[in-house]
Structure 1
Amino acid sequence: MKYLKRLTITGRSVEEILSVFEEDYDIKKGEYDYNVVDKGSVGFLGIFARDAVVEITIKKQYYERKLQEFVKKIVSHFDPDISVKVYSKNPRVFIAKINGEGIGKIIGKHGKGLGALQHLSTIFLNRLSDTKVTVLIDAGDYREKRKELIERIVKNALEKLKKDGVKKVELDPMFAFERMLVHEILKNFKDVVSYSVGVEPYRYVVIERREKDASFKARKSRTYNNR
């Protein structure tokens, strides 16, 4: 499924349907495709008239523009010169890159401000779509710096599992891209298993020792959402 929203609209004519649709959705030509299912008919003397039917598919360009406008409106309160560039990594993942001198205020302490912006942006875009989408906000080189920190956090967690003898370690809440990075790193360690629990923006990763007894096999049979 490459589209995020598909509509079937009826009206007196194809032209009227498209005109009303563009106004209601604040959408521009080129941001949607349409297929005329039925051109409709005015009928004889207005009798036996048949409505036109149009199937409309909203394209990713619409969601990229709307997300860019949404993020820009928020960050402009911190610094009107902050630039916002939005692109889609795939049909269901949208990335907004922000740059400027004021991004530090947006990131906030421990990235909490950035996390809040990302959470709000995800909610906003999902309200426009029929399909669940993910929004990632990248501020300057913050993601790269966080990557280095995540690698240290994982290393410390693994040392704790080994030295302290605990069965599992619960990490602090993280962004979606950070959790995915944790899972990716841990794929190289066959003696542990990781999974995410909780709801955004408090979702966190649990790293658990891979036991060999039957009780672990039962736990392993559970379905984990590693996002």
Structure 2
Amino acid sequence: MKKLTITGKSVEEVLAIFEEEMKINKNEYEYLVIDKGSSGFFGFLARDAVVEITIKKEFYERKLEEFLKNIVSYFDSDIKVSVFSKNPRLFIARIDGEGIGKIIGKHGKGLGALQHIATIFLNRLSDIKITVIIDAGDYREKRKELIKKIVENAVEKITSGVERVELDPMFSFERRLVHEFLKKFPHVHSYSEGVEPYRYVVIERRRNHDNIQTRKSRTYNNR
């Protein structure tokens, strides 16, 4: 995670100032003393202490949880928030409660907006790119099943003769699901067009696949 090199009159002073300024707990960072520093001789040849501090994922988990709790409290004070990280670049937040429908919003737009600002918030605290994924109840799992059906219907249209199908605008994680589901259909290919938040997936018949199938058919018929 994020590393900082800080100097001060002593190691103790460096750590005390760092904890105060960052509002960070002792278990949320590690440090390595590069130079203990020296008061010198009667003030001469004094040398500052140098400490390298690494901020751990626990700090980011807590900050994200506090950030989300503050926002969702405006919708329903009983909504529960839990955060964990799968790796230093991916943080998962889950919100549960009776009022999550207000947060999800129509077609998940509210949830998408919350995820977007949460990602911006956490990236401002880090020096590496972090992705935040927020799930509300079982919304994402239900949405995944719906997207799978949307993909299957689109592929069916193309198989029936339609050359191109444009899906409705989707969030980035939903578009990734579409591309993933389409991998098992070799006769189509997909790509995204448009600008956020109106970016959408285009599914088209794969031309070279038709040519391959034609050549295979001709080869078979000539045998």
Please, what TM-score do these two structures have when normalized by structure 2? 0.87
Q: Percent identity?
A: 72
More helix per residue: 1 or 2? 2
Partner amino acid, structure 1, of 2:75:
F
User: What is the rounded CA distance, in whole Å, between the counterparts of 2:46 and 2:67 in structure 1?
Assistant: 42
User: What is the rounded CA distance, in whole Å, between the counterparts of 2:193 and 2:86 in structure 1?
Assistant: 25
For 2:85, what is the secondary structure of its paired residue? Answer: strand
Looking at CA atoms only, which structure, 1 or 2, has the larger radius of gyration?
Answer: 2
Q: Which runs of at least 4 in structure 1 moved beyond 6 Å after TM superposition?
A: none
Matches within 5 A, 1:52-131: 52-131=49-128
Which residue does the alignment assign to 1:206? 202
**Contact 1:35 1:54 survives alignment (8 Å):** yes
Which residue does the alignment assign to 2:135? 138
Which residue does the alignment assign to 1:180? 176
User: What is the rounded CA distance, in whole Å, between the counterparts of 2:130 and 2:197 in structure 1?
Assistant: 15
User: What is the rounded CA distance, in whole Å, between the counterparts of 2:70 and 2:89 in structure 1?
Assistant: 22
Matches within 5 A, 1:147-158: 147-158=144-155
Q: Which runs of 5+ in 2 are unaligned?
A: 210-223
Residue 15 (1) aligns with residue 12 (2): yes
User: What is the rounded CA distance, in whole Å, between the counterparts of 1:201 and 1:153 in structure 2?
Assistant: 19
Which residue does the alignment assign to 1:222? none
Which residue does the alignment assign to 1:194? 190
For 2:184, what is the secondary structure of its paired residue? Answer: coil
What whole-Å deviation, never above 9, does each CA across 1:184-223 have from its counterpart, x for those lacking one? 211211222333455554443333332329xxxxxxxxxx
User: What is the rounded CA distance, in whole Å, between the counterparts of 2:59 and 2:158 in structure 1?
Assistant: 47
For the aligned residues, what is the CA RMSD?
Answer: 1.8
Give the number of aligned pairs.
209
Residue 163 (1) aligns with residue 167 (2): no
Partner amino acid, structure 2, of 1:157:
A
User: What is the rounded CA distance, in whole Å, between the counterparts of 2:197 and 2:165 in structure 1?
Assistant: 19
Q: Which runs of 5+ in 1 are unaligned?
A: 214-227
What whole-Å deviation, never above 9, does each CA across 1:11-63 have from its counterpart, x for those lacking one? 11111111111111111111111111111111111111111111111111111
Please, what TM-score do these two structures have when normalized by structure 1? 0.86
**Contact 1:154 1:182 survives alignment (8 Å):** yes
Q: 1:17 to 1:203 in 2, by over 3 A?
A: farther
Which residue does the alignment assign to 1:223? none
What whole-Å deviation, never above 9, does each CA across 1:153-195 have from its counterpart, x for those lacking one? 11122123333432x4333332333222222211211222333
